[in-house]
Structure 1
Amino acid sequence: MHGIFKATAAAAAFFIASPLWAQGETSSSQTSGQETPADSARLDAAAGTIDHLFPLGTYERMMRGTMDKVMDSMLSSLGAMTMDDLAGASAVKQDAVPEEGAPQTLADYSRAADSHFDERMRISTRVMMDEMVTLMTSMEPEIREALTKIYARKFTVDQLNEMNSFFATDTGAAFARDYMMVFVDPEMMESMMGLVPEMMRAMPDIMQKVEAATAHLPPPTSAEEHEDDSDGRAADEF
């Protein structure tokens, strides 16, 4: 059970990077066929834009304090899930879940197995968060460089200068300052967490469609079978 909680904590911390990737994908789909190679003037203008939208220290600002509350909320929601919920998400038949265990939540099972579960999870998530802040902060220069190239490729010098002029105003500066913070706003994260039960209910149907779509493929071989096949092929070569 601890592994489920820790994996969720790590995934949640890494999730905050997704707005940048989604932004790149969305922008690419919207401007496909309209891009031209970026020259130095566009790169210079784009660098100014990224200074406003994604200055150094953005990830630490996103993750310190705000993400602590988000993590607590996410782990609390996960802990409230019952074995019935997990069975539905993994397409396990409901009659395979012990009745005496069905009403209990993941957190109940974890606390029964570990009397220090709550404190252990609190410490673990804080340590993981601190390490993720360090990791993501170390990546910021490369991310800023990539964003600069993306913006330079997708927008003209005039467009970038107009953005920068807007960001120089009080309203523009306020928008740029909280542009990334919106994605980790507690209200946004609460809304996302509200979708988890619906996603869990949809998972069995999704897995059935995956199985149907891959039904024409031979079943994967086990490690032992793969090793036997390799040995057999090597023997044939001799």
Structure 2
Amino acid sequence: MKTILAAAVLLTSASAMAQTSEESASVSDAMAADHAELTEMYSAMFASEPLSPEQEARVPLATEVVALLFPPGTYAKMINETMAPMFDTMFGAAAPLSRLALAEVLGVDGARLSALDESELTQALEIVDPAHEQRAEITGAAMLDVTGELMNEVEPAYREGLAHAYAARFETADLEALKQFFATSVGGRYAEQSFLVYSDPKVMSAMTQVMPRVIELVPQMMERMAESMEALPEPRDVSDLSPQERERLAGLLGMSVADLEAAATEVSGDDESF
């Protein structure tokens, strides 16, 4: 793995070594809280209707079909074929990442490092961290290992979700026909490759060609949003609320009116008295 990967992880490594056990515990607690909140949010976003009795009866057959389309280890293949080269590309060839990371570590202006060629950058890395190549290899391997373990844990739930989706979207005759097709030579090969093909570098490369157009559309999207919201009133801050509204809002948030007003003042930076 390239030395540039090492530069990209210099900050991460230094930060990890500098953290105390109390800080690590605090970060873990915060991440657990964020995870719970995200889980609840996504569950609400993708809530699905329960299967009908007829659809439920098709789940076993749909499970057989899905097992052919998404056999165990599919995610591992996707990681090996896609993510490993992606990591090499992101960290092994993205010189700006190494320059930014090294600038942060040294506390110098990033512009000073932007003038360095790759040879000079490598020499600077070797001075700051003689073990940068080994550190980069360990970091890259750890990222792939953890990602692979995560995907192995996710696979059963994903496969179950696919089975339910197929049971809902296809009739019994459809599922039987798919199963028969996947039993053929070409059908079996299609089933084996059907998910992997979407992460093929050729597909991903083609998708990157769309990005310039996406970037062009962002200002248009923002403009349309602004135009559509012109007729809407501006959101109010605490200073705009009546005493009754402040009391009600504070009660909903489980805090006193004084604390609510103090928090609003701190956020706005306004010393104006409520």
Instruction: Compute the TM-score of the two structures, normalised by the length of structure 2.
Output: 0.51
SS in 2 for 1:64: helix
Shift of 1:198: 3.8
User: 1:213 & 1:125 partners in 2: Cα distance?
Assistant: 45
Q: Which runs of 5+ in 1 are unaligned?
A: 7-24, 29-34, 82-97
Shift of 1:194: 3.0
Q: After superposition, where does 1:16-165 map in structure 2 within 5 Å?
A: 37-39=53-55, 41-75=57-91, 79=95, 101=111, 104=114, 115=125, 119=133, 123-165=138-180
| Between 61-70 and 192-201, the greater mean CA deviation after superposition | 192-201
Shift of 1:61: 1.2
Q: Identity over aligned residues, as a percent?
A: 26
Q: After superposition, where does 1:226-237 map in structure 2 within 5 Å?
A: 230-232=255-257
Amino acid aligned to 1:51: A
Query: Which structure would you say has the larger Rg?
Result: 2
Q: After superposition, where does 1:164-203 map in structure 2 within 5 Å?
A: 164-203=179-218
SS in 1 for 2:125: coil
- The CA RMSD over aligned residues, in Å, is 4.6
Amino acid aligned to 1:189: M
**CA gap 1:198/1:127 in 2 versus in 1, 3 angstroms:** farther
SS in 1 for 2:71: coil
After superposition, the C-alpha distances for 1:80-135 in whole angstroms (9 at most, x for unaligned) are 69xxxxxxxxxxxxxxxx9x94xx59x98xx59x7269846665344222211111
Instruction: Compute the TM-score of the two structures, normalised by the length of structure 1.
Output: 0.58
Contact persistence 1:68–1:126 (CA under 8 A): no
> Relative CO higher for 1 or 2, CA cutoff 8 Å, sep ≥ 6?
1
* Structure 2 residue 218 is matched with structure 1 residue 218: no
User: 1:199 & 1:78 partners in 2: Cα distance?
Assistant: 22
Contact persistence 2:66–2:162 (CA under 8 A): yes
Contact persistence 2:68–2:191 (CA under 8 A): yes
User: 2:197 & 2:8 partners in 1: Cα distance?
Assistant: 30
**CA gap 1:235/1:141 in 2 versus in 1, 3 angstroms:** closer
User: 2:74 & 2:56 partners in 1: Cα distance?
Assistant: 25
User: 2:226 & 2:73 partners in 1: Cα distance?
Assistant: 44
Shift of 1:207: 4.1
Q: Which runs of 5+ in 2 are unaligned?
A: 1-6, 13-45, 98-108, 239-248, 262-274
After superposition, the C-alpha distances for 1:46-100 in whole angstroms (9 at most, x for unaligned) are 011101001111111111243211333355686569xxxxxxxxxxxxxxxx9x9
Shift of 1:195: 3.0
Amino acid aligned to 2:88: D
Query: How many aligned positions are there?
Result: 184
